């Protein structure tokens, strides 16, 4: 996360705290940072899933000639990354 992104989240947390009448901006800020990081991690997992699915199916950027093409292992990596992305996002739903 860049300093600019942190500043944006801090300002958002500050505005929300003022709007809510809360004295605890730091807690809202921590929630926003955690939410942003969870989504960033989930997007990495989504990307891995999509890449491995393209490899499994022989779709671009792959040629279909790769050894991993139509491999149960490659399909499993795609499915596993998809499960991880869902689990990462679900962490934000439990309180």
The end-to-end CA distance of the chain, in Å, is 24
| Contact partners, residue 82, CB within 8 Å, separation at least 6 | 45, 46, 49
- Predicted model pTM: 0.81
Q: What is the pLDDT of residues 22-77, one digit of tens each?
A: 878 888 899 999 999 999 999 999 999 999 999 999 999 999 999 999 999 999 99
Query: How many Å is the Cα radius of gyration of the chain?
Result: 19
- The pLDDT, as a whole number, for residue 93 is 87
Question: What pLDDT is recorded for position 39?
Answer: 97
């Amino acid at each position: 996360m860049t300093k600019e992104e942190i500043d944006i989240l801090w300002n958002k947390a500050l505005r929300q705290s003022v709007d809510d009448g809360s004295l605890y901006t730091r807690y809202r800020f921590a929630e926003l940072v955690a939410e942003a990081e969870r989504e960033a991690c989930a997007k990495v997992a989504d990307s891995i899933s999509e890449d491995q699915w393209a490899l499994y199916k022989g779709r671009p950027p792959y040629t279909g000639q790769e050894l991993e093409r139509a491999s149960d292992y490659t399909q499993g990596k795609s499915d596993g990354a998809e499960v991880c992305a869902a689990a990462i996002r679900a962490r934000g739903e439990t309180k």
